[in-house]
Amino acid sequence: MTTIYERRRSPASGLSRRELLKRGTVGAALVITGSAVISPDRAWGVETTALKPDTMATLIKLARDIYPHDTIPDRFYAIAVKGHDTKAGQDPAHKELIEVGIADLDARAGAGGYRGLGWEDDRVAILREIETTPFFQAVRGDLVVSFYNQKDLWPHFGYEGESFSKGGYINRGFDDIEWL
Amino acid sequence: MAAPYRLDDDSVVVIIGSGAGGGTLGNELAQKGIDVVILEAGARIEHEDFINDEWDSFAQLAWLDHRTTGGGWRVGKDFPNLPAWIVKAVGGTTTHWAGASLRIQEHEFKALTNYGKVEGANLLDWPITLADLEPYYAKAEDKMGVTRTNGIEGLPGNNNFKILKAGADKLGYKECHTGRMAINSADRDDRMSCQQTGFCFQGCKWGAKWSTLYTEIPKGEATGRLEVRPNAHVVKIEHDADGKVTNVVYADKDGKLQSQKARIVCVACNSIESPRLLLNSESARFPDGLANSSGQVGKNYMRHTTGSVYAVFEKPVHFYRGTTMAGIIQDEAGHDPSRGFVGGYEMETLALGVPFMAAFLDPGGWGRSFASAMDGYANTAGLWIVGEDMPQEQNAVKLHATLKDQHGMRIPDVWFTDHPNDIAMRNHAYKQGQALYEAVGAIRSFPTPPYPSTHNLGTNRMSEKAQDGVVNKWGQTHDIKNLFVSDGSQFTTGAAENPTLTIVSLAIRQADYIAEQMNAGSI
């Protein structure tokens, strides 16, 4: 299993801000260490078992470029793509599809790799070149469900989900529009 | 005899499918004292167990057996293995339907006469008229508790309806209201009223929306003359040397093949599985499949000209609250060729949750344009277009050349390409829908492509002459007297209206005919 874990904010564990900077990570960039991708504020991390952690970090970036919601934190994108690591562990063909696909993105991006391209527009230009490939289709096709089907994200969109247990909306605003 | 029935009981009427057609027909026959076995491919899931969650419910109810697609339609590209969004469960697609219950208009029964020959279309007049069906429409509306009929009040309008209505007023539309819905606006028929829960498509957990699952089927069962056998997936209908059908072969819940004898067989498996079953029932005597002397089995597949318009406003709408199909505009439903197409269309409100909005708003779409549309979700209103599409012979449910299911039967391959008339109608409807929302302040609107088909029609069509279609005006196959078709595949043309009310009305009428013919000893 690929695990996403919440990290305790303990100053004793992990890397210091200074160390992070020494490693060349800046701003909101994800940190790659051992077999994990860790958020810069170290509130969460994702442990990979089949894919390279670098690959996972790029997948997270790719997921945000596919469905860019600027006020949704990386954690939700990480949750959405972690299934690729699980699947890669069970299916060598899937592992190949993802690793080769990400390597191709890096190659197209040049020296700094895909994550090294600072502007979203430059990354999206690459994605437009590959949007019909099985790799992109597999990532996007999975993501449209694994991302938008997260209940924790529904409040962001103003969607309330299940309503039967609350008696529906008959007394909870089904006809409350006032601005018309 | 009383239910349950033995496999070798050859006195029973076997109905394949328990949805709007099969479930209604089963109850109607049982009420007349006729012994009925309904074989249902899916499981029996009672309404309390429905799930208020789009993907979980989809996994619980949808027909997900392997299917393929072909032709030029976008569904074939975006959802190559999901041509239709219909149900595999007791109650069939009446668990999932929205509830809109409209009569087909008089002129639509005579599409060929009134539209004239349309190039590339295989139009035909129905062998029945509105007048023939009116008494049965009245019975169906009463049975289903359709609002705005039989003195039943309309449903209250939700936010999505209020926006539709305001836009309709601005555009000068006159026929806009909260619909004729088979959803209780007050307690009726031992079922409670709509609680505006917003999950009509996921099965109504209150039972406020009519479904054969908790109306026709238990009523039929209470007579002791109806047995519903779930998890019984029919693979073949067999016949004797005289060409009469004799028994139905089905896979039971363990995948073991069983054979149920029958006096009469009624096929009601929706417009994809019904022709598939007839085609798969080929024999030395009927090498092209059962009831297919016309060659029309599986042809003329129709799915309504559909599409949606979603629009984002400055302020919140919360359109997912309340009845999914909460209102209708009927002004465009007439036949007015000056618009550049024949036939007409209805506009009906529709809402999706976030998960399905993401899947269906612009299938395959991504990037900032897509994501910002999703960010507008809470401020979104939406409507669905449902209009008459042209029957075309090459739009067809075929048997796949090589792929077979787990029982060795060839899987359905569903081909569809829009007719130019369909495209002209859809574009007109997109324009009207976008204008409607812009008239009430929409910031941005989206002409959303058709979803996988919910209205599957026409693949065993009704015709006066045996050479033009598969069944006669009673749904009895032209070729085999004791073989009937009892679902929407009978439709000669699609008309603009949601089809369920007509399917139910035809089933009530067919039950009368079957009972008469049985009494007369002619079948």
Nearest residue on chain A to B360, alpha-carbon basis: A144
What's the pLDDT score for residue A16?
A: 52
Angle subtended at Cα B202 by Cα B201 and Cα B204, rounded to the nearest 5 degrees: 90
- Residue A100 φ then ψ, to 5°: -70, -40
Percent of chain A whose predicted confidence (pLDDT) is above 90: 77
ipTM value > 0.90 = yes
Q: Which of A154, A169, A180 sits opposite B198 (nearest CB)?
A: A169
Decide if B156 and A161 are in contact by the 8 Å CB cutoff.
no
In this predicted structure, the answer to whether residue B443 has a pLDDT above a threshold of 50 is yes
At residue A34 the predicted structure's pLDDT band, cuts being 50, 70 and 90, is confident
Q: Which residue matches tokens 């949808």?
A: B62
Interchain pair A148, B354: CB under 8 A: yes
Chain B residues inside the 8 Å CB shell of A124: 367
Tell me the C-alpha distance between B267 and B19, whole Å: 11
- The answer on pLDDT for B431 being more than 80 is yes
Query: Quick one: which of A112, A113, A86, A111 has its CA closest to A102?
Result: A113
pLDDT at B194 over 80: yes
Residue B181's contacts (CB-CB under 8 Å, 6 or more residues apart) are: B99, B100, B101, B146, B147, B154, B155, B323, B325
Whether B53 and A162 have beta carbons less than 8 Å apart is answered as yes
**Cβ-nearest to B195 among A160, A162, A168:** A168
Q: Are B248 and B39 in contact (CB under 8 A)?
A: yes
CA B487 to chain centre: 8
Where do the H-state alpha helices sit in B186-255?
216-222
Model confidence pLDDT, tens digit, residues B269-322 = 999 999 999 999 999 999 999 999 999 999 999 999 999 999 999 999 999 999
Least confident of A20-29, B33-42, B303-312, B456-465: A20-29
Q: Which helix (H) or strand (E) holds A21?
A: helix A17-22
Handedness of CA B91, B93, B95, B101 (dihedral sign): negative
How big is the CA angle at B253 (ends B250 and B259), to the nearest 5 degrees? 25
pLDDT given for residue A37 in this prediction: 93
Nearest residue, CB atoms, B162 vs list A140, A158, A177 = A177
Residues 146-175 of A with CB under 8 A from B: 147-149, 153-154, 157-165, 167-170, 172-175
A129 chain-B contacts, CB cut-off 8 A: none
C-beta neighbour count of B268 within 10 angstroms: 32
* pLDDT value of residue B477: 98
Q: Which residues of B42-79 are buried (b: 16+ CB within 10 A; e: fewer)?
A: bebbebeebbbbbbebbebbbbeeebbbbbebebbebb
Helices (H), strands (E): how many in chain A?
Answer: 7, 4
Name every chain A residue with its beta carbon within 8 A of the beta carbon of B314.
Answer: 179
Q: How confident is the model at residue B1 (pLDDT cuts 50, 70, 90)?
A: low
Cβ–Cβ gap B366/A131 under 8 Å: yes
CB contact under 8 A, A148 and B374: yes
Please enumerate in sequence order all residues whose Cβ is within 8 A of that of A1, keeping only pairs 6 or more positions apart, or say none. A49, A86
Q: Dihedral of the CA atoms A39, B366, A105, A100 (nearest 10)?
A: 90
**Would you say residue B207 has pLDDT above 60?**
yes
Searching chain B, which residue's CA lies closest to the CA of residue A173? B321
Q: Report the gap between the CA of A176 and the closest CA in chain B (Å).
A: 7
- In 10 A of CB A86, how many CB atoms? 17
Q: State mean pLDDT over A69-80.
A: 97
B197: chain A residues, CB-CB within 8 Å: 163-164, 168-169
Contact B437, B443 (CB under 8 A): no
CA geometry: angle A11, A13, A14, nearest 5 deg: 105
pLDDT at A28: 64
* Interface contact A148-B321, CB threshold 8 A: no
B318 interaction partners in chain A (CB closer than 8 Å) = 158, 160, 173, 176-177
Greatest alpha-carbon pair distance for chain B in Å reads 70
Of B1-15, B138-152, B467-481, the least confident = B1-15
Distance separating alpha carbons of residues B381 and B258, to the nearest angstrom: 49
Calculate the average pLDDT of chain A. Answer: 89
Give the residue from A177, A178, A179 with the most B CB atoms within 10 Å of its CB, the best one to mutate: A177
Over residues B169-192, mean pLDDT? 98
**Phi, psi for A79 (deg, rounded to 5):** -60, -40
Closest CA to A143 of A71, A87, A74, A67: A67
**Residue A33 confidence (pLDDT):** 84
Q: Which of B145, B229, B235 is nearest to B192 (CA)?
A: B145
pLDDT given at position A11 = 40
Strands B13-16 and B264-267, how do they pair?
parallel
Mean pLDDT of the residues in chain B: 98
Taking contacts as CB-CB distances below 8 angstroms, the residues of chain A near B159 are 174-177
pLDDT at A8 over 60: no
Helix (H) or strand (E) holding B229: strand B226-229
Question: Token pair for residue B486?
Answer: 């009892």
pLDDT tops 80 at residue A5: no
**Residue in chain A lying closest to B161 (CA):** A175
Distance CA A65, CA A2 (A): 22
What's the rounded Cα separation, in Å, for the pair B408 and A33? 51
With CA atoms as reference, report the closest residue to B361 among B477, B294, B450: B450
Percent of chain B with pLDDT over 70: 100
User: How confident is the model at residue A2, as a pLDDT?
Assistant: 66
Average pLDDT over residues B483-507: 98
Question: Percent of chain B having pLDDT more than 90?
Answer: 99
Is the distance from CB of B194 to CB of B206 less than 8 angstroms? Answer: yes
Q: What is the pLDDT of residues B356-398, one digit of tens each?
A: 999 999 999 999 999 999 999 999 999 999 999 999 999 999 9
* Residue B391 preceded by cis peptide, ω within 30: no
| Closest listed residue to residue A137, CA positions, set A98, A107, A108 | A98
pLDDT at residue A10, rounded to an integer: 44
The 10s digit of each residue's pLDDT in B223-281 is 999 999 999 999 999 999 999 999 999 999 999 999 999 999 999 999 999 999 999 99
Residue B55: its chain A contacts at CB < 8 A? 145, 149
Q: Please give, rounded to a whole number of angstroms, the shortest distance from the CA of A58 to a CA of chain B.
A: 16
